[in-house]
Amino acid sequence: MSVAEAIRTKLTAAFSPQRLDIYDDSEKHHGHAGHREGGETHFRVTIISPAFEGLSRVDRHRRINETLAEELRTHVHALQLTILTPAEAAKRM
């Protein structure tokens, strides 16, 4: 399973998102710290889920980081997160 697939599987199971977008931005970081041939080191994730209702921004990040602890420890060098509730996402649209 690719790193992106592992991220998708774990986030879907943990948060039942209404929307989950995962972008591999590794090529944008070619030659920078943490880059490896083959990519899957730098990701940008947008997740919209009711599971984040009532959680602070810090707590949301902690929950994502706990869910992806293995990937962050072994494969992922950088993870850019946009974490929203459905109501917050509706305001942005």
pLDDT digits (tens, 9 = 90+) for 18-75: 999 999 988 765 565 555 565 678 899 999 999 999 999 999 999 999 999 999 999 8
Spell out the domain ranges in the chain.
3-92
In this structure, what token pair is assigned to residue 72? 């962050």
CA–CA gap between residue 43 and residue 3 (Å, rounded): 10
Options 2.60.40.10, 3.20.10.10, 3.40.50.300, 3.30.300.90; which CATH number does 3-92 get? Answer: 3.30.300.90
